[in-house]
């Protein structure tokens, strides 16, 4: 018989509305994400609309992608936007120095990216070049995109086919400037940010949000020293502060044992401490929370798949990565009062991708299915959820595996069921992960005075902890059909969750 685990949901205890931006995405000029992944060009035999792959747009549209960050990543601080406008045949060939010295033809630039965002219904988020660019270059990009009046830059945009301003709201001012974006100290970056920010103007009807480069993982010092250097009037010009957190790997993308399964999920859960830790430092300097905390790169980072170029960061994606995505999104919902945006790295063919494409084929990864499953949380009110912790000691050996885990030894305490809950228009949506690699559980939903008489349950699970989708078998891991589950004899609703499985339970509250 399956173990029963109680999950307490308090539908009346609202945390905050779940900003749809918490389900955001990231697309860098890296490997085969932009070229071949999104862009094949109008003359390609692969079905496309003005150069953008139709299969990719068709696959991504149902996810309701709220925001898409581009063009990097490290690439952003070596990108010069003028290379990517005007007739494509006249654009310069550059070299992508960060990512394998790949040729960069600049065929996918500002207008092509905006067309992709429009096709997806996504808000664009541009990462500007602070590392190797100038304030003048960034100001001109903002004016080119956002000015509706009479100026040479606005006229150039119109001549390139876009009459109305693009009205790009989110502008990153550099990326990882503690690393690939210039190896700066936080003090140096704070000064540079302030200088560049001065020239990121609000044009009429196009107010902008300037996003400063935040820390790498738990680098509390970066956050504190940036804020300390910027405090006073300069802080008023920081609208967002973007941390990055990669939970890394354990084993490889597809080869791991149960201990490594638990190790990676423990590292994924640690994102909660990154969010609460940086927000609490921000709160000291910004008690009214005017500065938004973003996590504009997150995900699993496995060794590059055998046979693929090292600079392309191509990795497979298994049911374990699906659990990484689900646990992370659940944390974001539970911290919806502290986190404004989160962008998984990355959308196609790179790192924890949602889609893998090859020639004219496109497959949905297990991570894709999590975003699909979790979509009803977007825009709903996050409410409190507690699950009884079931600590399983893994002993010294296992703890040693996880030396760099945020939670240290405790990171191996396995909570069999965890998740998040939200309410919208009287409908409760609960997503739950059974992170135990080999034991199924039954979750009993205790709604403390409220009830779900019945609910629709959709499950993402696989019989094998290494299960993944391939071009030969693209639906090995996919969502189940919805099943109706009813509460028995007036008792609380019970939902079975397979080992290493994820479920979504949705029903009207009574
Ligand atoms: O997502 C890949 C790289 O990871 C990005 O370019 C960089 O910002 C980070 O280090």
Q: What is the pLDDT of residues 284-314, one digit of tens each?
A: 999 999 999 999 999 999 999 999 988 999 9
CA dist 72 and 69 (Å) reads 7
CA dist 85 and 91 (Å) reads 7
Which ligand 1 atom lies nearest to the CA of residue 28?
6
Q: Are strands 417-424 and 381-387 parallel, antiparallel or unpaired?
A: antiparallel
Which ligand 1 atom lies nearest to the CA of residue 98?
6
CA dist 163 and 149 (Å) reads 10
Mean pLDDT in residue range 63-74: 98
| Selection from 509, 381, 506 nearest residue 450 by Cα | 509
DSSP 160: T
pLDDT (0 to 100) of residue 103? 97
* Residue located nearest, by CA, to atom 2 of ligand 1: 73
Whether the model pTM is above 0.85: yes
Ranges of each domain in the chain: 12-382
User: Ligand 1 centre from 29 Cα, in Å?
Assistant: 11
Mean pLDDT in residue range 55-83: 98
Pocket test for ligand 1, best of 79, 297, 299 (most atoms within 8 A of CB): 297
pLDDT (0 to 100) of residue 488? 87
pLDDT (0 to 100) of residue 395? 39
Side-chain half-sphere CA neighbours of 283 within 13 A: 9
Q: How many CB atoms lie within 10 A of CB 4?
A: 11
**Token output for 504:** 């979504």
pLDDT tens per residue, range 3-60: 889 999 999 999 999 999 999 999 999 999 999 999 999 999 999 999 999 999 999 9
Of the chain, the percentage scoring pLDDT greater than 90 comes to: 91
At residue 365, φ and ψ (nearest 5 deg) are -85, 170
Which ligand 1 atom lies nearest to the CA of residue 175?
8
Instruction: pLDDT band for 1, please (50, 70, 90 cuts).
Output: low
Phi and psi based region of residue 349 (left: phi greater than 0; alpha: psi -120 to 50; beta: remaining):
left
SS3 label, residue 340: strand
pLDDT tens per residue, range 477-508: 999 999 999 988 888 899 999 999 999 999 99
Residues noted as catalytic:
176, 297
CA dist 151 and 388 (Å) reads 61
CA dist 242 and 21 (Å) reads 13
pLDDT tens per residue, range 209-228: 999 999 999 999 999 999 99
Mean pLDDT of the chain: 94
Task: Find out whether 171 and 200 touch, Cβ atoms under 8 Å.
Answer: yes
pLDDT tens per residue, range 265-280: 999 999 999 999 999 9
Q: At what angle do helices 152-159 and 135-146 cross, to 10 degrees?
A: 60
Task: Find out whether 229 and 210 touch, Cβ atoms under 8 Å.
Answer: no
Task: Find out whether 348 and 27 touch, Cβ atoms under 8 Å.
Answer: yes
**Token output for 303:** 């060794």
234 has pLDDT over 80: yes
Count the residues in the chain: 510
Mean pLDDT in residue range 100-108: 97
* Residue located nearest, by CA, to atom 3 of ligand 1: 73
Instruction: pLDDT band for 406, please (50, 70, 90 cuts).
Output: very low
User: Ligand 1 centre from 215 Cα, in Å?
Assistant: 13
Burial 217-241 (b: 16+ CB within 10 A, else e): bbbeebbbbbbebbeeebbeebbbb
* Residue located nearest, by CA, to atom 8 of ligand 1: 73
CATH for the stretch 12-382? 3.20.20.80
* Higher pLDDT among residues 387 and 203, named by residue: 203
pLDDT tens per residue, range 344-403: 999 999 999 999 999 999 999 999 999 999 999 999 999 999 986 543 334 333 333 333
């Amino acid at each position: 018989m399956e173990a029963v685990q109680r999950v307490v949901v308090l539908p009346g205890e609202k945390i905050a509305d779940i900003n749809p931006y918490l389900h955001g995405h990231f697309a860098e000029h890296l490997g085969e994400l932009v070229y071949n992944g999104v862009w094949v060009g109008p003359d390609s035999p692969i079905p496309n609309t003005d150069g953008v792959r139709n299969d990719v747009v068709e696959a991504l549209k149902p996810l309701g992608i709220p925001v898409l960050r581009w063009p990097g990543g490290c690439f952003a601080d070596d990108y010069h936007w003028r290379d990517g406008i005007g007739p494509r045949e006249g654009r310069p060939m550059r070299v992508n120095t960060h990512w394998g010295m790949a040729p960069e033809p600049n065929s996918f630039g500002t207008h092509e990216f905006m067309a992709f965002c429009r096709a997806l219904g996504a808000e664009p988020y541009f990462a500007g070049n602070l590392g190797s660019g100038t304030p003048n270059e960034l100001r001109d990009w903002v004016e080119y995109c956002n000015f509706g009046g009479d100026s040479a830059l606005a006229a150039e945009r119109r001549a390139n086919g876009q009459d109305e301003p693009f009205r790009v709201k989110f502008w990153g001012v550099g990326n990882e400037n503690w690393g690939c974006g210039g190896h700066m100290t936080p003090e140096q970056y704070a000064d540079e940010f302030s200088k560049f920010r001065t020239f990121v103007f609000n044009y009429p009807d196009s107010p902008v949000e300037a996003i400063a480069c935040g820390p790498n993982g738990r680098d509390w010092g970066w956050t504190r020293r940036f804020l300390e250097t910027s405090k006073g009037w300069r802080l008023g010009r920081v609208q967002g502060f973007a941390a990055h957190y990669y939970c890394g790997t354990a084993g490889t993308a597809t080869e791991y044992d149960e201990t490594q399964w638990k190790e990676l999920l423990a590292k994924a859960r640690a994102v909660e401490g990154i969010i609460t830790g940086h927000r609490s430092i921000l709160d000291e300097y910004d008690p009214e929370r005017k500065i938004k905390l973003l996590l504009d790169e997150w995900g699993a980072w496995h060794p590059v798949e055998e046979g693929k170029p090292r600079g392309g960061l191509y990795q497979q994606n298994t049911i374990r990565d699906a659990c990484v995505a689900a646990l992370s999104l659940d944390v974001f919902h539970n911290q919806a009062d502290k986190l404004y945006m989160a962008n998984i790295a990355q959308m196609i063919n790179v790192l924890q991708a949602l889609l893998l494409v090859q020639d004219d084929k496109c497959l949905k990864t297990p991570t894709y299915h999590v975003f699909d499953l979790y979509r009803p949380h977007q825009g709903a009110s996050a409410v409190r959820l507690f699950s009884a912790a079931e600590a399983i000691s893994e002993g010294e050996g296992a703890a040693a595996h996880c030396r760099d885990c945020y939670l240290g030894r405790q990171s191996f305490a396995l909570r069999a069921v965890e998740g998040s809950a939200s309410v919208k228009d009287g409908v409760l949506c609960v997503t739950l992960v059974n992170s135990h690699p080999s034991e199924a559980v039954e979750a009993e939903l205790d709604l403390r005075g409220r009830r779900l008489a019945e609910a629709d349950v959709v499950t993402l699970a696989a019989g094998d902890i290494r299960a993944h989708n391939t071009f030969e078998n693209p639906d090995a891991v996919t969502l189940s059909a919805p099943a109706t589950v009813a509460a028995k004899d007036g008792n609380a609703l019970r939902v079975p969750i397979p080992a290493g499985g994820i479920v979504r339970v949705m029903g009207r509250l009574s």
